[in-house]
């Protein structure tokens, strides 16, 4: 998958597998959806989580210039080759992650689960992107409670704003193989002789 789609998929995968408990179900699964899903798709099954991409910006604090050897294999590239490229364009992807619950107990369980290391911790977050085998930095930029009432029913909402440090690759170059014993010779124009250099 291309840029952004890889991060979308990795973030959704990071949030999946959460369950909450109550008197009626000790392991109620929590759905994860992109954006505001159609009611037919998510069937109004509370609790659930939505993921919205809210911003794509250049990460000016990470901009570099020059050539660099990639420390990973880009998606779709030959894993046995080494690659060089101009420094990739540094990009910040900002997402809004929102949780929805009808019960306060579910709401608190969701918060406890999402703030754990390995999900959306306040610090030291990371996101694994399987397409290129890299770990991306995942920063929690903010959190807010937005509980409300909807059709005379309580709706508990939590909003996380997170940032994924990404990059867009430029043209890849495979360096030419360098011989361990190069064949070099010096030519003397005055004497019209050639001297082979020994390693």
- Residue showing tokens 């430029």: 170
Q: Does residue 160 carry a pLDDT above 80?
A: yes
DSSP-derived letter for residue 23 is T
Q: How does pLDDT run across 69-100, given as a tens digit for each residue?
A: 888 888 888 888 888 889 999 999 999 999 99
Q: What is the predicted pLDDT for the residue at 174?
A: 76
pTM over 0.95: no
- Cα-based distances in Å from 101 to 12, 106, 146: 18, 6, 11
Q: How does pLDDT run across 11-68, given as a tens digit for each residue?
A: 999 999 999 999 999 999 999 999 876 665 656 689 999 999 999 999 999 999 888 8
User: How far, in Å, CA of 43 to CA of 25, rounded?
Assistant: 18
Nearest to 160, CA basis, from 141, 184, 138 = 141
Which domains are delineated in the chain? 5-175 (3.30.2000.40)
User: How far, in Å, CA of 167 to CA of 138, rounded?
Assistant: 13
For residue 130, name the pLDDT band (cuts at 50, 70, 90).
very high
Three-state DSSP class for 60?
helix
Q: What is the predicted pLDDT for the residue at 150?
A: 82
């Amino acid at each position: 998958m291309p840029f952004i789609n890889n991060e979308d998929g990795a973030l959704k995968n990071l949030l999946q597998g959460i369950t909450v408990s109550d008197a009626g179900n000790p392991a109620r699964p929590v759905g994860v959806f992109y954006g505001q899903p159609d009611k037919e798709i998510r069937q109004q099954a509370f609790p659930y989580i939505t993921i919205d991409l809210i911003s794509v910006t250049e990460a000016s604090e990470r901009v570099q210039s020059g050539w660099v050897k990639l420390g990973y294999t880009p998606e779709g590239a030959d894993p046995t080759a080494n690659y060089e490229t101009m420094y990739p364009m540094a990009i910040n992807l900002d997402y809004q992650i929102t949780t929805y619950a009808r019960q306060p107990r579910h709401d608190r369980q969701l918060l406890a689960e999402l703030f754990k290391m390995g999900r959306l911790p306040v610090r030291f977050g990371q996101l694994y992107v399987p397409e290129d085998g890299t770990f991306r930095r995942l920063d929690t930029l903010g959190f807010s409670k937005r509980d409300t009432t909807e059709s005379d029913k309580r709706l508990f909402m939590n909003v996380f704003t997170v940032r994924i440090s990404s990059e867009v690759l430029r043209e890849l170059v495979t360096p030419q193989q360098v011989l361990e014993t190069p064949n070099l010779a010096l030519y003397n124009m005055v004497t019209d002789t050639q001297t082979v250099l020994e390693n």
